[in-house]
Amino acid sequence: MSVTLAQLRRHAVARSLFTRTTLERAIHKLGFVQADPIRAPARAQDLTLRQRVRDYRAGDLEQRYPELAIEEDYFVNYGFL
């Protein structure tokens, strides 16, 4: 079976982007969100979450972290799970 680039792209987008949801649900659905202190052009967690979380603004994850049922951890990369 041959797979075209367009089919592969649709498959990847369908599996990585989903209907906007809450911050906590988005993190649980993604499983891991890499944290990045560098803001050029923006921190990795903000770039990842702004398309997946309703009304997300840069810094929301850090601000709301204490009230969310998520953990901070370090694997190969530092992030939230």
Chain segment 31-69, per-residue pLDDT in tens: 888 888 787 888 889 999 998 999 999 999 999 999 999
For residue 12, being part of any structural domain is answered with no
Spatial distance between the Cα atoms of 81 and 71, rounded to a whole number of angstroms: 5
Q: What is the DSSP letter of 65?
A: G
- Output the pLDDT for position 61: 94
Q: Give the total number of structural domains in the chain.
A: 1
Q: What is the mean pLDDT of residues 20-39?
A: 87
Decide if pLDDT at 75 tops 80.
Answer: no
For residue 10, being part of any structural domain is answered with no
Spatial distance between the Cα atoms of 66 and 24, rounded to a whole number of angstroms: 11
Q: What is the mean pLDDT of residues 70-76?
A: 80
Spatial distance between the Cα atoms of 31 and 48, rounded to a whole number of angstroms: 12
Q: Range of 24's domain?
A: 19-80
- Kindly report the pTM of this predicted structure: 0.64
Q: What is the mean pLDDT of residues 4-30?
A: 87
Backbone angles phi, psi at 52, to 5 degrees: -115, -15
